[in-house]
Amino acid sequence: MLPTLMKFTSAPLLGIFYGFDSFFYSLGKSRVTSELVKMGYKEKTMNIILNNVKNYK
């Protein structure tokens, strides 16, 4: 009974968490790309935008 209850209550919470995670990831990615364009790194910026790179260095 307890595992079923945990799945029932944790599924909506995980969905909310992933929504926030995705939103703030997109927000950070847009800030990084705007700063890279200002610094003149247009190729690296296009690589981040088009390839959806998570680990940009």
For residues 52 and 20, which has the higher predicted lDDT (pLDDT)?
Answer: 20
Query: Tell me, what's the pLDDT at 13?
Result: 77
At residue 53 the predicted structure's pLDDT band, cuts being 50, 70 and 90, is low
Which of left, alpha, beta for 55 (phi over 0: left; psi -120 to 50: alpha)?
A: beta
Q: What is the Cα Rg of the chain in Å? A: 17
Q: How far is C-alpha 15 from the geometric centre of its chain's CA atoms? A: 14
pTM score, two decimals? 0.61
For the cut 90, the answer to whether the pLDDT of residue 46 exceeds it is no
What mean pLDDT is predicted for residues 36-45? 91
Query: Tell me, what's the pLDDT at 7?
Result: 73
